[in-house]
Amino acid sequence: MTHSIPVRASVPGVKTFAATAIVIADMVGVGVFTSLGFQVQTLSSGFSLILLWVVGGIVAFCGAQAYAELAGMFPRSSGEYNFLARTYQPIFGFLAGWLSATVGFAAPVALAAMAFGEYARPLLPGVPPLALGLGVIWLVTAFHLSGIRYGSVFQNVSTVIKLVLIVAFIAAGIAFSTPQPISFAPSRGDFGQILSSAFAINLAFVMYAYSGWNASTYIIDELHEPHRTLPRALFTGVAVVSLLYVTLNMVFLYTTPVAKFAGQIQVATIVGDHIFGPLGGGLVGALICLGLVSSVSAMMWIGPRVTMVMGEDFPLLRLFARKSKHGAPSFAIVFQLLVASLLMLTQSFEAVLEFIQFSLTLCSFFTVLGVIVLRITKPAHPRPYRAWGYPVTPLIFLTVTGFMLYYLLVSRPVESLAGVLLMLAGLILYAIAQNYPADVVHEKVTVVK
């Protein structure tokens, strides 16, 4: 099987800082501000609660190790679409790309935008949350349509503002709060909680908060010296986010009585009210709003690159490979914008997210498994970066991800199977695309699998 890849006229130029900003922005959404309220209902130990977030960071780091090795072997944008096609069969990559290009990024964008609307409503009471959410998507899209240069500047600035505000919240919480009687040191009873089903189930939700650790692999072609930039971006991003997640949850537990936010989803707002008074919740809401802007920006940057690369490979989809004079894949960006907007208008994004969680996790599982497969099948293939701690690191990721897949199948069998069917629906498009006549005028280079 061959892949036809257009010759690139532009020189990649996204530096490590911007690539890291994408990882951080894609990872830090609303999950870390909402998860603790449900975790404290089944885990009572401060040590076990914080360990959840430490383990989540370790698993994300292990996944990043595997993706960095694959990116060095097959340096091309589009993430799983590229990796699965080169490791297994092109059809596997196409199905992963189909899922990402249609709803895999559009649904999380819609969810983040709707969350933005809800958190911004107290600040702009006269504007409906839907209008606020749609507004932020269209505003962010305008920056990315203007080209990589302006898009990366917007991404950098919005991510830095997010980090500064989170650090300021952590510092203010420690400085102005009354310490609660909770210990983060391990005790004899912690071992039983760590081995419990409650810990494992909560870990599955923590891993969703860590999703996005692979963000930079979707824009490899745009990176400056990707063999160096990509590993640095992935590892730095995971390290920064892990530190933030652990510290934030320690601050939540240290500053506010657990009874106040147990079973509640608005944990950060409740903590803000407790520490700073009536205005605290509004300030935290504004913080989350600004953070969600950078998350939407990251997904509006990286998601269309999957569609773009698929357009490079298949003449049927070539429209999405077209770039503006500023280097932006404008048709692919607008397509994701329209899908995300439609999901918001129909209020169907939450249902779509439930459907695709299993399929997206399955794609990540087989991508990391591919590192082991390729070490066996292609031992001599050049590897500019080799996964640290192999084979332990990929096995850690596969074990935890395998549990998540099992948990999703048991707890949401209908949604999980529906997600698989949605992915398999791409087989129809693949069959059509395979038989679509190629554009003989289009300049190509051929990469043999």
The rounded distance, in Å, linking the Cα atoms of 200 and 397 is 14
Task: Specify if 116 maps to a domain.
Answer: yes
The rounded distance, in Å, linking the Cα atoms of 184 and 120 is 34
Q: What is the CA radius of gyration of the chain?
A: 22
Tell how far CA 347 is from the center of its chain.
21
Across the chain, mean pLDDT equals 90
The rounded distance, in Å, linking the Cα atoms of 175 and 169 is 10
CA atoms within 13 A of residue 412's CA, in its CB half-sphere? 17
pLDDT tens column, 14-63: 999 999 999 999 999 888 998 999 999 999 899 999 999 999 999 999 99
Q: Which residues pair with 14 in a beta bridge?
A: 223
CA atoms within 13 A of residue 342's CA, in its CB half-sphere? 10
C-beta of residue 224 within 8 angstroms of C-beta of residue 147: no
Task: Specify if 4 maps to a domain.
Answer: no
Instruction: State the average pLDDT over residues 369-394.
Output: 97
Nearest to 349 by CA among 98, 134, 49: 134
For residue 359, is it left (φ>0), alpha (ψ between -120 and 50) or beta? alpha
Give the Å distances, CA to CA, from 419 to 83, 96, 191, 350: 21, 12, 36, 13
Task: Specify if 179 maps to a domain.
Answer: yes
Backbone angles phi, psi at 436, to 5 degrees: -80, 135
pLDDT tens column, 113-135: 999 998 888 888 889 999 999 99
Give the Å distances, CA to CA, from 108 to 102, 200, 345: 12, 24, 14
C-beta of residue 249 within 8 angstroms of C-beta of residue 36: yes
C-beta of residue 95 within 8 angstroms of C-beta of residue 419: no
CA atoms within 13 A of residue 240's CA, in its CB half-sphere? 24
The pLDDT value recorded for residue 12 is 54
The rounded distance, in Å, linking the Cα atoms of 169 and 209 is 19
Instruction: State the average pLDDT over residues 71-95.
Output: 97
pLDDT tens column, 280-328: 888 888 889 989 999 999 999 999 999 999 999 999 999 999 999 888 9
C-beta of residue 306 within 8 angstroms of C-beta of residue 78: yes
Q: Which residue has the tokens 């995971």?
A: 238
Task: Specify if 446 maps to a domain.
Answer: no
Nearest to 254 by CA among 30, 49, 34: 49
The interaxial angle of helices 46-73 and 226-255, nearest 10 deg, is 170
Amino acid in the structure at residue 121: R
**Structural domain that includes position 299:** 14-434
pLDDT tens column, 141-192: 999 999 988 999 999 999 999 999 999 999 999 998 889 999 899 988 888 8
C-beta of residue 308 within 8 angstroms of C-beta of residue 324: no
Amino acid in the structure at residue 34: T
Task: Specify if 449 maps to a domain.
Answer: no
The pLDDT value recorded for residue 102 is 93
C-beta of residue 266 within 8 angstroms of C-beta of residue 162: no
The pLDDT value recorded for residue 439 is 56
Instruction: State the average pLDDT over residues 190-213.
Output: 89
* Peptide bond preceding 379 in cis form (omega within 30 of 0): no
Task: Specify if 351 maps to a domain.
Answer: yes
The rounded distance, in Å, linking the Cα atoms of 71 and 387 is 11
Number of separate domains in the chain: 1
CATH number of the domain residue 313 falls in: 1.20.1740.10
Runs of H (alpha helix) within 277-318? 278-313
C-beta of residue 76 within 8 angstroms of C-beta of residue 82: yes
Task: Specify if 448 maps to a domain.
Answer: no
pTM exceeds cut of 0.95 = no
Dihedral Cα 152, 158, 160, 166, nearest 10 deg: -150
Continuous segment of H or E residues that includes residue 268: helix 267-276
Task: Specify if 1 maps to a domain.
Answer: no
